C-alpha cells in the first residue's frame, strides 16, 4: 500500500504537526524509502555475485576432473 505525498501531508496536518515538522518527516520518509531501495539492490548484487562464484567453482572443479 502506497500513499501519495498529499495524503502524507494531510495525515501530518491532522496530527497537528507544523509545516517544518511535516517537511522533516517527509524528508525522513523519503530517505527511508531510498535506503530500502538501495538495500534491495545491494542484496540482488550480492546474490548475483554468489551465483557467479558458485558457477566459477563448478567450472574449476569440472576442469580439474577432466
pLDDT tens digits, 18-57: 666 767 878 888 899 999 999 999 999 999 999 999 999 9
Higher pLDDT, 6 or 55: 55
Write the CB contacts of 9 (distance below 8 Å, at least 6 apart in sequence).
22, 26
What 8-state DSSP symbol labels residue 16? T
- Rounded CA-CA distance 61/29 in Å is 48
Predicted TM-score (pTM) of this structure: 0.54
Domain enclosing residue 12, as ranges: 5-65
**Which grid coordinates are listed for 15?**
496530527
Q: What is the pLDDT of residue 14?
A: 84
Number of domains in the chain: 1
Q: Please report, for residues 32, 39, 47, 50, the alpha-carbon distance to residue 44 in angstroms, rounded to integers and kept in the order given.
A: 18, 9, 5, 10
Amino acid at each position: 500500500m502506497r500513499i501519495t505525498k498529499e495524503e502524507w501531508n494531510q495525515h501530518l496536518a491532522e496530527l497537528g504537526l507544523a509545516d517544518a515538522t511535516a517537511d522533516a518527516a517527509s524528508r525522513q520518509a523519503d530517505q527511508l524509502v531510498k535506503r530500502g531501495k538501495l538495500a534491495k539492490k545491494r542484496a540482488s548484487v550480492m546474490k548475483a555475485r554468489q551465483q557467479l562464484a558458485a558457477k566459477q567453482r563448478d567450472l574449476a572443479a569440472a576442469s580439474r576432473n577432466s
